[in-house]
Structure 1
Amino acid sequence: MDDIFNSLLRLTSYISDRFIQFIEDLVLRDAIRCIENFGVTPTISSSVCCSNGYTISTSWKPPQCGIGICENNRASYNTRELLVDTRSLIVHASHITAIVPSICYKGLTLPLYGIQYAWNLGMASFRYSFLCIRCAHDQVHRLVSRVRKTLRGSYDDIGWLQHAPGMPPVQDGTSRFLELLADIRDGEHTLPNSFVYLLIPGLFSNHGPLYFVATKKFFSKMGLACHIAKVHSEASVEHNALVLKQYIEEIYWGSGKPVMLLGHSKGGIDAAAALSLYWSNLKNKVAGLALVQSPYGGTPVASDMLREGQIGDKETRRIMELLICKVIKGDIRALEDLTYEKRKEFITKHDLSLDIPLISFHSEARIAPGVLATMTQIAHAELPWLPLPKSDHSDTCLVSGRQVPVMIPISAAMAVCALHLQLRYGEKSDGLVTCRDAQVPGSVVVRPNMKLDHAWMVYSSKKKNPTEPDAREMCEALLTLLVELRNMKNGLEQPL
């Protein structure tokens, strides 16, 4: 039994020695490769004693052939001569310790994988730090870009039509307009009955029942055929263009008379889009178009609210979608189509024909402090979520479609907006549309000598000055000038 045990012990010792020798060979090879990767050629001429009693090498210089063991000089550089019997591991202390300390354990230096691990860990930390710095730089750059875009706003877009190449010049018709207006106030009405006059309301007109109502009644009393277009004011421009095209065709085939168009605000944009998109169908049915305070080139109010890439752009868009789409049951494209980006895209693709007379009417709002206290009357606002009693003697309630009379300070709001545009961009406006953006290329421009806000032409103020013209007379003067321009094109009158 003792012999068997001793034999097993010797066999175990032999296997252990061979395994340790194999590991030491691997360690030496890894050490030499690591040193060569760092460009170090170590020379060791001293011996070091480990604490466990094993000796760590004498003078030895690694070969310069690949991994350190040259096939041609294996006899000269045989690593086994350095390891067998002495159980010494050559540690290049003078250079390796400068990179990472060696660890000795019973004559065996643990594999220098720790060097590679430490190197990889350091490089990973460096890459991660560099990535964090780069991400922070990108975030700061995006933030700075958003701040610049927010502060810049629509400064570069206002009046772009006046600098666009290939746009026809405008003609000033203010003096003739004022002459016609004075004649109308003196009781001279010359609008012919050979046309049908179509008034096209603008954005949010569905929530204001007095929109163009006074003007329509005024024309009807004179025996003129006048209609207010029934369009969804909060729909997109292209949608309303198709609706107006069908509306004009119905009027023309029903009356046999060409149609004179007068559009206010977005209504003028819708009418111009109908002529641009369906001119081949409407060229003999439309006699002229007057755009009253229409943002033909765009408006900074819509652009500043919906511009992408500025601070709070997503939040602002969600708020506008909630108000337009959910509260008033409209389409967000109705506001998008009034931005400079959308207007540039549409005007570039679709030309407005100059075969019919065009009038561009724009005004400037008062920004005096006294205007902030003014009120403009609006008949009602629609509150579909508010339950109200059906009658005084009934307990039932109406939940949807109830209209409640309200008073809204529109004039004050227009004055604030006009002051904002004046201070930020240095542009004169009626509160929503700048004067330069309301000028249609190739049109006759009318600039009244009165301070009129954006809502003045369609809503009547409670306080009226009898010495000044009202909105009805202004619309009549515009349409009278439009008739004169048509006659000039046909050679019936002398030019302005």
Structure 2
Amino acid sequence: MANQILLEICCYYCTEMDDIFSRLLSLTSCITRRVIEFIEDLVLRDVIRLLRDSEINSCCKQPAIGTCTGFLDRDAIYLEDLSLINSGSEIVYRNYSRGVHFVFKGLTLPISFFEFAWRAAIETWRCIGYHKGCVHARLQSIVSRVLRTLNGSSDDIGWLQASPEMAPVEDGSARFLELLQETRNGVHKLPDSFVYLLIPGLFSNHGPLYFVSTKRFFSKMGLACHIAKIHSEASVEHNAWELKQYIEELYWGSGKRVMLLGHSKGGVDAAAALSIYSQELRDKVAGLALVQSPYGGTPIASDILREGQVADKETRRIMEFLICKLIKGDIRALEDLTYEKRKEFIRKHKLPDNIPLISFHSEASVAPGVLATMSHIAHAELPWLPRILNEDADDDAIFAARKVPVIVPVSAAMAITALHLQLRYGEKSDGLVTCRDAEVPGSVVVKPDKKLDHSWMVYSSWKKEPTEPDACEMCEALLTMLVELGKRASK
């Protein structure tokens, strides 16, 4: 067909005609006629194929006489040797020498339009079904995200206590209160045969006086006390390596074993160091006290970074900006405190059995009066202040001289988050860590009878109560109790 069209086009061009407009009109008519005939032939072939299929199906159902053959002409369709006669319930096929002449000339255009409409309807239905499936999947995704957001950490809080392979805990609150009372009465039992290492928690690099008062309190008693200089916004495994180096340095420098006291993420970092490097630190560490540490995880970190909840990507970008860009930290420092990461780490790294452990957790007050309280002091660094102290002043004094107190409503913030956790999950917490998640399996648990928020142990109070113990005395009581546990275990 294509060769024939080209041949006729060439003939038309080769013919000499006087009127060029007549030649163009004739050429256009020829091309149009050939294109229409080509389309008609395509449609007629589809029609004859459909007719043959239907007739073959009918022949398969009834006894048939004769055969069905045919050929396609340009202007008509000939079905050879086929005749259909319907007599009652019996269908009889007879052979003819020439066949029946069906002329579909003039009907091809309506048939093509009908076929086009049928295919368009099918494609429209398929398109509607596809978009309906997309909308359904989208709705399911939204519902799943909403349910995941509403459920939050309900299934994860206290997972350590629910694990059958976890060792039971021992309540040591009564003995702790006895030691705390003795400390307040001036009875100090901490021996100088250990080096005491205080490990700060998350964002401690931005609170330069973190644990400073406790260190000074121990130093006045003649005890070797240090604050671990680690990057608090680094990952748990990174800080575990740093602490391992720090502990070995203290041990080889003094010849004394090290007592560890970690607050918040500092306790998690210290426990990770003992878990990962248990062989290297087995004879160098005498005990570990975890103070308000999210050893099992914290719902605050999990609710912020949980994937599959509403606005999870936007929330993560905000936290990455705050932690990575603003304070130059590592987002893994917060990720490592989620339930998912803590489950993965604890199942992979077990704490050694030969090291005494204490878990200290408290409950923040959610009284209405606390919400309006500015009870804690943070410190802002002013490095441009002149050095007003003499050359003999120690570094802590020089460092403190360049700080100015800034009153921060920490208690109010902790009270709000504690109230949120209590209303949403029904869990008691210090504002950041629930009481159940702070209990380390196999440890001695200390639960004070006083309402203490998460930051009480490390920052000075705006209004001190002379009749109430402070953070330094509580840390001393905890370490004294840790020494007793070590002596009991060695017997």
TM-score by length of 2: 0.80
Equivalent residues of 2:201, 2:232 under 8 A apart? yes
- Displacement of 1:464: 1.2
Q: Give unmatched runs, 5+ long, in structure 1.
A: 1-15, 43-62, 84-88, 91-103, 392-401, 492-496
Q: Is the alpha carbon distance of 1:21 and 1:132 closer, same or farther for their aligned partners in structure 2, counting shifts above 3 Å?
A: closer
The amino acid across from 1:345 in the alignment is E
- Displacement of 1:118: 2.2
CA distance in 2, matches of 1:132, 1:226: 67
Aligned pairs (5 A) from 1:122-201? 122-201=121-200
The reply to whether residue 489 of structure 1 matches residue 489 of structure 2 is: yes
Aligned pairs (5 A) from 1:329-478? 329-381=328-380, 405-478=405-478
Please state which structure has a larger fraction of its residues in helix: 2
CA distance in 1, matches of 2:36, 2:470: 108
- Displacement of 1:29: 5.2
- Deviation per residue, 1:195-215 (Å, 9 max, x gap): 000000000111112211111
Aligned to 1:494: none
- Deviation per residue, 1:65-86 (Å, 9 max, x gap): 488966655972846x536xxx
Q: Is the alpha carbon distance of 1:20 and 1:458 closer, same or farther for their aligned partners in structure 2, counting shifts above 3 Å?
A: closer
2:342 counterpart SS class: helix
Q: Is the alpha carbon distance of 1:38 and 1:480 closer, same or farther for their aligned partners in structure 2, counting shifts above 3 Å?
A: farther
CA distance in 1, matches of 2:55, 2:456: 85
The amino acid across from 1:437 in the alignment is D
- Displacement of 1:110: 3.1
The reply to whether residue 31 of structure 1 matches residue 31 of structure 2 is: no
Over 4 Å off, 4+ runs: 16-29, 35-42, 63-75, 388-391, 402-405
CA distance in 2, matches of 1:459, 1:187: 23
Equivalent residues of 1:292, 1:361 under 8 A apart? yes
- Displacement of 1:226: 0.5
Aligned to 1:100: none
- Deviation per residue, 1:66-113 (Å, 9 max, x gap): 88966655972846x536xxxxx36xxxxxxxxxxxxx74xx643733
- Displacement of 1:169: 0.5
CA distance in 1, matches of 2:432, 2:40: 85
Q: Is the alpha carbon distance of 1:40 and 1:488 closer, same or farther for their aligned partners in structure 2, counting shifts above 3 Å?
A: same
TM-score by length of 1: 0.79
- Displacement of 1:119: 2.3
Q: Is the alpha carbon distance of 1:404 and 1:306 closer, same or farther for their aligned partners in structure 2, counting shifts above 3 Å?
A: farther
Aligned to 1:242: 241
CA distance in 1, matches of 2:224, 2:444: 25
Q: Is the alpha carbon distance of 1:115 and 1:163 closer, same or farther for their aligned partners in structure 2, counting shifts above 3 Å?
A: same
Q: Is the alpha carbon distance of 1:26 and 1:435 closer, same or farther for their aligned partners in structure 2, counting shifts above 3 Å?
A: closer
CA distance in 1, matches of 2:244, 2:253: 14
- Displacement of 1:407: 2.0
- Deviation per residue, 1:330-371 (Å, 9 max, x gap): 100000000000000000100011201000000000000100
Aligned to 1:101: none
Equivalent residues of 1:35, 1:41 under 8 A apart? no
1:453 counterpart SS class: coil
CA distance in 2, matches of 1:488, 1:242: 29
CA distance in 1, matches of 2:179, 2:67: 105
Q: Give unmatched runs, 5+ long, in structure 2.
A: 1-31, 59-65, 71-76, 84-94, 387-401
1:486 counterpart SS class: helix
- Displacement of 1:228: 0.5
Report sequence identity in percent.
68
Q: Is the alpha carbon distance of 1:479 and 1:442 closer, same or farther for their aligned partners in structure 2, counting shifts above 3 Å?
A: same
The amino acid across from 2:464 in the alignment is K
Equivalent residues of 1:219, 1:226 under 8 A apart? yes
Aligned pairs (5 A) from 1:205-354? 205-354=204-353
Q: Is the alpha carbon distance of 1:65 and 1:438 closer, same or farther for their aligned partners in structure 2, counting shifts above 3 Å?
A: farther
**Count, aligned residues:** 427
Equivalent residues of 1:201, 1:264 under 8 A apart? yes
CA distance in 1, matches of 2:57, 2:147: 57
